[in-house]
Structure 1
Amino acid sequence: MDINQYLVLAIFASTILALITTNKRPSSIFAASLLALIITQQLVIGDVINNFTNQGLITLVLLLLVSSAVDKTSLIKRLGRTLVTASFNASYWRLFGLTFFSSALLNNTAIVASLIGPVKQNQYHHASRLLIPLSYSAILGGTVTLIGTSTNLIVDSFLIEHGHPGFNFWDFTLYGLVAGLSCGLLMFLMTPLLPEIANKSSEYNSYFIEADVDEDCELIGKSVEENHLRNLPELFLIEIARGGKLISPVTPDVVIQSGDKLIFSGNIQHVGNLDHIIGLKLFAESNGLERENLTEVIISNRAQIIGQTLKALGFRALFDAAVVAIRRDGESLSGKLGEIKLQSGDFLLLATGPDFMQRHNLTKNFFILSEKKMETKLSRTQDWITLGGFLFTVALAATSILNLATGLLFFIAILVIARVTTNNEIKRNIPLNLIVVIVGALSLATALEKSGVIHQIMQLIGPWATSVSPIWALVMVYVLTLILTELVTNNAAAALMFPLAYGLVQTLGVPIMPFALAVAFAASASFISPYGYQTNLLVFSASNYKFKHFIKFGLPISICYSTIVLTLLKYSFGL
């Protein structure tokens, strides 16, 4: 081996060591590796630019941008609110079914993020008995189609770069369905092994929020429990104002009526979870203002509005703003939002009109603290355009009528025209850290091949490789990828292992497809560590899990999943 090969190997080993032993972001580590490769002249700028224009990476970024728009729709939120019931078995299978099948088409990280709230908020079961299955269901569902997880697209891009046509949309489906549903059943049988842990106390400032029940509201005629109003993430129904009277506390059997005012207390950042309830309007919307751009203010000690109610003040006309929520530290509020007497030090969250900042009475009454950007509420038409358009785009790609990246690009343009998203929102949602990780991993893989390191490794293991059955070579590639994904990240594991798998295929003279599939499936199979896959990290952060809980529950799942995938690959390709 020459000096260049030793340099590439040193950078490769340092990258893996840093990913395993440090708390630095993977994007920072891969950025440093990329710079090291350029400084040592193992890569030129053209190689890096080529990786930035990788088709799999472009498709992945477009898919994530579209997923952020789909995540605005009411579909997952509406379903999530009804998931958990008094029956644990029913709750488990509902959660598994929704997460598994939706993760086959949508970004599984976004799905888990959307469902963590309803699971934590449920009043029937410890969230710790459902959160790990939620994450694993998303991982399993992501392996069913080409677009289910980013690792599939990364491996697909490597295939294309090496002169192969790449994966078809359904190439993963047989293996993903059989392994996923089998592991889903095994998880259900193993749920007694999951701990019963008290929920983490949420750290947020609790606001007082009012919502009006319109005549056409879907909640009318059904009880609080039937409407699943106790499963809203970090929002608690504390009172109902009806005909001049307050119903407090609100019991599960209280039936919602037209004209009711529902009083919630909780995290204002989750107020969007009320948007998907048809016919339910926030106080600000009832006053003719949207609440996407919110301004938080505190009432000054010399304010002229102290001691008066919002209704008596004519707050909307006075300030060109409507109050979305009120917070009063050290005191619980009660009653209708418009009838609460304002006090010095009250925090108000305001939906403001265009004339708000020009009002001369602002400084006399408020200290302006900050502006909060809230998620845009979609109309029913926008909902249908987003969901229907996404499914149509996926259908075109699945039937090979239209290239997926092309379809997604046109679909994003439609979303902008329909005002589902904006150019600024697209810029904010570009996953820069993920792009750096993938480009860094792709560049490291390029350097390993370009410098001849892969060729040297193949020469070393050549005698062994030619003496073993292809199935054992496949198992070796799978196990190495599996170990790497538990230690680093799924995308990095896929990018770093593919060159080795490709070199092994050339040495053995066997088809590339089973080895490419093995790398893709193993890179997604992070069931043992909370750090190997982003959905595991989400649920790990949401509860008080310990590392041992993932090992105890995840090891049997990993063994079952791996055995099924490898067995199917063996018989599908005759290895």
Structure 2
Amino acid sequence: MLLTATVLVGLITALVATKQRVSHMFVAATAVLLVGGEINTQTVLNHVTNSGIVTLVLLLLAAIVLERTVLLRFLAKHIAHSQYLPSLIKMGALSTIASSVLNNTAVVATMMRAVMKSQLHAPQRLLIPLSYFSILGGTLTLVGTSTNLVVSGLVTAQGGPNIAIFDFLPIGAALVAGCGAVVMIVSRWLPQQTTDESLESQYFIEAAVAPSSPLVGKTVIKNGLRALDGLFLAEIVRGDSLISPVKPDDVIQANDKLLFSGDVRRVHQITALPGLHTFNKGDLPATNLREVLVSPESILIGKTLKQVGFRARFDAAVIGLSREGKTVSGKLGNNPIQSGDKLMLAVGPDFERRQNISRNFFLLSDYKTFQPLSVVQNTAAIAGFLAAIAAGALGIMSLIESLTLYLVLMVGSKVADSSQLRRRFPFELLTILVCALSLASAVQSSGLAQSVTKSFLSHINGVPTVAVLLSLILLTVLLTETMTNTAAAALMVPIALSVADGLQLDAMPWVMAVAYGASACFISPFGYQTNLMVMSAGEYRPADFIRVGWPVTLVYIAIVTVLIPIVFPFDSV
């Protein structure tokens, strides 16, 4: 018991006081417990295959599949607003609703990329609220968060009451309303570093707006030009004038030349927009990109692309031009080519067979463009994910089975890329969760949990029941903030059932206290997986979570403490 308590205190101290990687500290704590004999290898391996953890990993992998669909761009387009508060409200509403029926980790994984690419507001001002709203949305239903699933599974395994899917809804709705309002207020305390709108890139991609384009007469933001994935609208050439930087409220006009910078491999997003054409007045001839250097012997030198009939001569279209390491803006098609210019070409099937290629260019590299999914593939990916969640929620099959089937079908049908799934496998998050559950096992097996429960019960004689409930909530919140929500739930469920039994009261209020308390992670980035995700993406410091998290936590605890006895009365057993 002494060894386990020492390791627990040491881990908490290290998390707060050092800047070491969180996974390394959890692994070190687990290693000490293994060497000390408090846990064994089999215990750790059992946690690797824990159904809650496996489900969580599968949900994260499924979210990677969803990133390829139109869902991400849809979310980005509907989150986007030129003003910060409307953007925050839209994002909060979407993430809350989505998190009530989908696991909130999957929701954050999907929406986080949209927030990072929104190009309107600093991601740091939106990512923590995204995590908070997803946590609040997860409190609405049983399937909204892995915490609720873990609590339900542990309670059922220990003979406690069954928790229905909508038992969380009344209190969860109050939390969304009350804490959501607080998030709106305190979000102004977040870092306000603005996005670098220059977004330096090696290439500009130019597209012309046709007079008949439906983009004409609408603002940049209304046309979704701030919601492109990996591309940024940097300049607009209008006649002889250049608009730079481009503002969200700028109106697109006929014959404008739009210059995008960013990842040229995502050029399909530009050609897919109605009435937009690359400056050579034609569609891209192929999905393959070639980066070439103009040879000193090239016939292009001193001439424009139009003058040499570039596309007909080489079976390729120039989509980007770089000169002396700098992007070349303006009317690319009218720019005389110089020796040493780098061109990004979209090439046709005859490009490699043209006899004039080696004389005019040095081939540098080739790329594959990111191709959008078809309508059928988009439908299958989105509908399949929702069907997998529904199958798990309705008990047709377990979430592990339904999500595994979904991923196998997506990889088999080429909707998902297996190599990408391997590269983005959440090893660090998996390590933290497994070690946290191993630590919770040691706390129970060493007798530390029983000692805490016994001491707790000995000090509550004559104390009002609501005060006891508040103490249990506070203890769970404290553990959640310092360990992880899953570990806190695993540790506190046996204690909650023991307290209910000792007081001879119905177990439901105490179990729900643990479930809600284990989701109340707003102060620490380490206790909840969505906080860990946005901390890395937004490059936050722990102090950022503390600054905005403590008011949300106080309101959260107050709402839960007041409403649990009303929704789940303290009936005697």
TM-score range, shorter chain: 0.7 to 0.9
Instruction: Please tell me whether the aligned partners of residues 208 and 325 of structure 1 are also in contact (alpha carbons under 8 angstroms).
Output: yes
* Counterparts of 2:251 and 2:183, CA distance in 1: 36
Letter in 2 for 1:299: L
Q: Structure 1 459/23 Cα, relative in aligned 2: closer, same or farther at 3 Å?
A: same
Work out which of the residue numbers 136, 141, 164 in structure 1 matches 2:137: 141
Q: In the alignment, does 2:237 pair up with 1:248?
A: no
Partner of 2:261, secondary structure, is strand
Partner of 1:568, secondary structure, is helix
Q: Structure 1 451/216 Cα, relative in aligned 2: closer, same or farther at 3 Å?
A: farther
Q: Structure 1 570/184 Cα, relative in aligned 2: closer, same or farther at 3 Å?
A: same
Query: Partner residue of 1:387?
Result: 382
Query: Partner residue of 2:438?
Result: 443
Give the C-alpha shift of residue 570 in structure 1.
Answer: 1.8
Q: Structure 1 322/197 Cα, relative in aligned 2: closer, same or farther at 3 Å?
A: same
Q: Structure 1 494/363 Cα, relative in aligned 2: closer, same or farther at 3 Å?
A: farther
Give the C-alpha shift of residue 525 in structure 1.
Answer: 2.5
Query: Partner residue of 2:112?
Result: 113
Instruction: Please tell me whether the aligned partners of residues 81 and 120 of structure 2 are also in contact (alpha carbons under 8 angstroms).
Output: no
Letter in 2 for 1:438: L
Moved more, 17-26 or 535-544: 535-544
Query: Partner residue of 1:183?
Result: 179
Letter in 2 for 1:181: A
Q: TM-score, normalised by structure 1?
A: 0.79
Partner of 1:567, secondary structure, is helix
Query: Partner residue of 1:13?
Result: 9
Instruction: Please tell me whether the aligned partners of residues 242 and 330 of structure 2 are also in contact (alpha carbons under 8 angstroms).
Output: no
Give matches, 1:116-515, under 5 Å.
Answer: 116-117=115-116, 120-121=119-120, 133-159=129-155, 162=158, 167-188=163-184, 194=189, 197-201=192-196, 205=201, 207-211=203-207, 219=215, 222-230=218-226, 232=228, 235-239=231-235, 248-249=242-243, 252=249, 254-255=251-252, 262-266=258-262, 286-290=283-287, 299=293, 304=298, 307=301, 312=308, 314=310, 325-328=320-323, 331-335=326-330, 340-343=335-338, 365-366=361-362, 368=364, 377-465=372-460, 467-487=462-482, 489-498=484-493, 500-515=495-510
Letter in 2 for 1:237: L
Structure 2: where are the runs of 5+ without partners? Answer: none
Give the C-alpha shift of residue 440 in structure 1.
Answer: 0.7
Q: Structure 1 522/286 Cα, relative in aligned 2: closer, same or farther at 3 Å?
A: farther
Instruction: Please tell me whether the aligned partners of residues 224 and 256 of structure 1 are also in contact (alpha carbons under 8 angstroms).
Output: no
Q: Structure 1 495/14 Cα, relative in aligned 2: closer, same or farther at 3 Å?
A: farther
Give the C-alpha shift of residue 355 in structure 1.
Answer: 11
Instruction: Please tell me whether the aligned partners of residues 286 and 346 of structure 2 are also in contact (alpha carbons under 8 angstroms).
Output: yes
Give the C-alpha shift of residue 316 in structure 1.
Answer: 10
Query: Partner residue of 1:28?
Result: 24
Instruction: Please tell me whether the aligned partners of residues 305 and 313 of structure 1 are also in contact (alpha carbons under 8 angstroms).
Output: no
**Deviation digits for residues 178-223 of structure 1 (CA, Å, limit 9, x no counterpart):** 21023334444667x6579351547753531235769997646645
Identical-pair percentage: 35
Query: Partner residue of 1:525?
Result: 520
Work out which of the residue numbers 543, 550, 560 in structure 2 matches 1:555: 550
* Counterparts of 1:152 and 1:15, CA distance in 2: 25
Q: In the alignment, does 2:79 pair up with 1:83?
A: yes
Partner of 2:259, secondary structure, is strand
Letter in 2 for 1:391: L
Q: Structure 1 546/28 Cα, relative in aligned 2: closer, same or farther at 3 Å?
A: closer
Instruction: Please tell me whether the aligned partners of residues 319 and 346 of structure 2 are also in contact (alpha carbons under 8 angstroms).
Output: yes
* Counterparts of 1:340 and 1:455, CA distance in 2: 78
Moved more, 555-564 or 154-163: 154-163
Partner of 2:203, secondary structure, is strand
**Deviation digits for residues 390-409 of structure 1 (CA, Å, limit 9, x no counterpart):** 22222333333332222212
**Deviation digits for residues 121-146 of structure 1 (CA, Å, limit 9, x no counterpart):** 25xxx877766544432332233233
Letter in 1 for 2:378: D
Instruction: Please tell me whether the aligned partners of residues 323 and 350 of structure 1 are also in contact (alpha carbons under 8 angstroms).
Output: yes
Q: Structure 1 445/555 Cα, relative in aligned 2: closer, same or farther at 3 Å?
A: closer
Instruction: Please tell me whether the aligned partners of residues 445 and 499 of structure 1 are also in contact (alpha carbons under 8 angstroms).
Output: no
Give the C-alpha shift of residue 77 in structure 1.
Answer: 1.9
Q: Structure 1 355/63 Cα, relative in aligned 2: closer, same or farther at 3 Å?
A: farther
Moved more, 195-204 or 21-30: 195-204
Instruction: Please tell me whether the aligned partners of residues 118 and 226 of structure 2 are also in contact (alpha carbons under 8 angstroms).
Output: no
* Counterparts of 1:574 and 1:299, CA distance in 2: 75
Instruction: Please tell me whether the aligned partners of residues 214 and 281 of structure 1 are also in contact (alpha carbons under 8 angstroms).
Output: yes
Query: Partner residue of 2:54?
Result: 58
Instruction: Please tell me whether the aligned partners of residues 121 and 231 of structure 1 are also in contact (alpha carbons under 8 angstroms).
Output: no
Partner of 2:37, secondary structure, is coil
Q: Structure 1 117/437 Cα, relative in aligned 2: closer, same or farther at 3 Å?
A: closer
* Counterparts of 1:490 and 1:447, CA distance in 2: 17
Q: In the alignment, does 2:559 pair up with 1:564?
A: yes
Q: Structure 1 384/453 Cα, relative in aligned 2: closer, same or farther at 3 Å?
A: same
Partner of 2:459, secondary structure, is helix
Q: In the alignment, does 2:40 pair up with 1:44?
A: yes
Query: Partner residue of 1:94?
Result: 90
Moved more, 37-46 or 546-555: 546-555
Tell me the number of residue pairs that the alignment of Structure 1 and Structure 2 aligns. 559
Give the C-alpha shift of residue 54 in structure 1.
Answer: 0.9
* Counterparts of 1:550 and 1:412, CA distance in 2: 34
Give the C-alpha shift of residue 421 in structure 1.
Answer: 0.4
* Counterparts of 1:317 and 1:44, CA distance in 2: 70
**Deviation digits for residues 266-307 of structure 1 (CA, Å, limit 9, x no counterpart):** 46588687588567677999334336xx77x57388685873
**Deviation digits for residues 432-464 of structure 1 (CA, Å, limit 9, x no counterpart):** 111111111111111222222222332333312
Moved more, 333-342 or 417-426: 333-342
Give the C-alpha shift of residue 56 in structure 1.
Answer: 1.0
* Counterparts of 1:150 and 1:365, CA distance in 2: 55
Q: Structure 1 67/559 Cα, relative in aligned 2: closer, same or farther at 3 Å?
A: same
Q: TM-score, normalised by structure 2?
A: 0.79
Instruction: Please tell me whether the aligned partners of residues 275 and 377 of structure 1 are also in contact (alpha carbons under 8 angstroms).
Output: no
